[in-house]
């Protein structure tokens, strides 16, 4: 794998979720030289589907909508909210 894309963690909850998943798995350092932050989930999916990126972090809805355009997927079987910045965190503010 030469390239990995994820939504920008500063602007997207899915980007923060990708970063939150990479840290405890120990993959953050391995992926860092290959990592590309892009604007949105649809942009990540588009890059992967067209072959401009080898892999990407997207939500399940985006993957289901275009699953015939990519080779496969890995679904996070861990916590339902892999990122502390989810919906509940926003409601508390």
| pLDDT tens per residue, range 55-84 | 999 988 888 888 888 887 777 766 554 444
- pLDDT, residue 50, reads 93
The yes-or-no verdict on residue 47 having pLDDT over 90 is yes
CA separation for the pair 82, 50 (Å, rounded): 27
Residue with tokens 């989930």: 41
pLDDT in tens, 22-45: 888 888 899 999 999 999 999 999
CA separation for the pair 16, 65 (Å, rounded): 22
- Indicate if the alpha-carbon torsion angle 44, 92, 20, 68 is positive or negative: negative
More confident call, 58 vs 88 = 58
- pLDDT, residue 66, reads 87
In this prediction the pTM is 0.74
Residue with tokens 């916590």: 79
């Amino acid at each position: 794998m030469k390239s990995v894309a994820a939504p920008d963690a500063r602007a997207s909850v899915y980007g923060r979720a990708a970063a939150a998943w990479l840290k405890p798995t120990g993959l953050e350092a391995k992926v860092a030289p290959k990592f590309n932050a892009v604007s949105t989930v649809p942009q990540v999916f588009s890059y992967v589907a067209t072959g401009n990126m080898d892999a990407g972090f997207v939500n399940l809805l985006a993957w289901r909508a275009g699953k015939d355009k990519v080779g496969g997927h890995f679904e996070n079987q861990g916590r339902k909210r892999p990122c502390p910045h989810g919906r509940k965190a926003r409601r508390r503010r």
